[in-house]
Structures are given as C-alpha cells and as structure tokens.
Copies of this chain bind each other. A is one copy, B any other.
C-alpha cells in the first residue's frame, strides 16, 4: 500500500498517468514552461527563477528526467536542461487523445 498497483492497468493508462503525474506539481509546470520558452536549454538559472531551494529544484528536475520529459546534458560545470522533444510530442498526443474523448 502507498504503492500504485500499476500491473493491473493497461500500458496506455499507465503512460497517461505517468506523464500527468510528472506534470502534477506547479514547480514542474513552471520548469517545463521555462524550458519551452527558452527553447534552447537552461541550467541552474531555473533555481533563480523558482521560489524553491536548489536541492528542491534538483529533485523536481530529477522527477521530470525520470519521466523522460526533459534531458540534462553536462556542460563543464553546468548542466543544461531541455525538453525531450520526442517524448514531449508523444505526451502531447497521449494527453490530447485522452482529453478528446467525449
């Protein structure tokens, strides 16, 4: 318990849920918006923009990375994040389809 019984649901339902879950926090929404806006990647400028500590922002970035919605590339001392275009488009179509029902 406390654990989602993923095995019991369809792949698609799990995919939709996983994406939605990753987006389900205002900080992560804000991060994704920033990354979309800047098109090119950014790094820890995100920390400056967000009203959260560095460690907390790092956690959210990790969550988004685990959902494959973003990519992080090391550039010397910095890490450059950007939207994972492929997965983003997949997510877009999954969610669009989902909400187009009815």
Which residues of chain A have a CB within 8 Å of any CB of chain B?
4-6, 8-10, 13-14, 16-18, 20-30, 32-33, 36-37, 39, 51-52, 83, 85, 88, 91-92, 95-96, 98-102
Contacts and interface: CB of A to CB of B under 8 A. Distances in A.
A27 B9 contact: yes
A46 to B, nearest CB: 14
Q: Chain A contact residues: over half helix, strand or loop, or mixed?
A: helix
A17 B26 contact: yes
A29 B92 contact: no
Contacts of A28: 17
Given A91-B99, A92-B99, A95-B99, A24 B20 contact: yes
A76 to B, nearest CB: 25
